[in-house]
Structure 1
Amino acid sequence: MFSSILLALTLLVSYVHATALTFALEPNEKQCFYIFNNKPNSNVGYYFAVQSGGAFDINYYIKAPNGVVIVKADKLTHADYIFTADQVGEYEFCLSNDMSTFAEKIVDFEIKVDDDFKASLPEAPKGNAAAEGMQKTVSSIEQKINQLANSLAYYKTRNNRNQSTVKSTESRIFWFSIIDLMLMAGISAFQVLVVKYFFQGSRKQMV
Structure 2
Amino acid sequence: MHVFLVFAVFLGVVAHSNCYFITVDAHSEECFFDRVEQGTKMGLLFETSEGGFLDIDVKILDPDGETIYQGERESSGKYTFSAHKAGTYTYCFSNQMSTMTPKIVMFNMEIGEPPSTKPEDGDHNKLEVMIKDLTTALTGVKHEQEYMTVRDRIHHGINEATNSRVVLWSVFEAIVLITMTIGQVYYLKRFFEVRRVI
Q: Does the pair score TM above 0.5?
A: yes
TM-score normalised according to structure 1 size:
0.82
Q: Distance in 1 between matches of 2:154 and 2:80?
A: 25
Give the match's secondary structure for 2:98: coil
Equivalent in 30, 42, 48 of residue 50 of structure 1:
48
Matched, 1:151 2:144: yes
Equivalent in 155, 164, 167 of residue 162 of structure 1:
155
Q: Percent identity over the alignment?
A: 21
Equivalent in 79, 84, 87 of residue 85 of structure 2:
87
Contact 1:124/1:135, CA 8 A, preserved across alignment: no
* Counterpart residue number, 2:169: 176
Equivalent in 192, 195, 198 of residue 202 of structure 1:
195
Shift of 1:177: 2.3
Distance 1:19 1:125, change over 3 A: same
Deviates more, 1:86-95 or 1:12-21: 12-21
Deviates more, 1:72-81 or 1:3-12: 3-12
* Counterpart residue number, 2:10: 12
Amino acid at match of 2:26: P
Distance 1:192 1:29, change over 3 A: farther
Amino acid at match of 2:25: E
Amino acid at match of 1:113: I
Contact 1:30/1:94, CA 8 A, preserved across alignment: yes
Contact 1:5/1:134, CA 8 A, preserved across alignment: no
Contact 1:53/1:105, CA 8 A, preserved across alignment: yes
- Runs of 4 or more, structure 1, over 4 Å off, are none
* Counterpart residue number, 1:98: 96
Q: Which blocks of at least 5 consecutive residues in structure 1 are unaligned?
A: none
TM-score normalised according to structure 2 size:
0.85
Distance 1:30 1:45, change over 3 A: same
Give the match's secondary structure for 1:115: coil
Count of residues in correspondence between the two structures: 197
Amino acid at match of 1:148: V
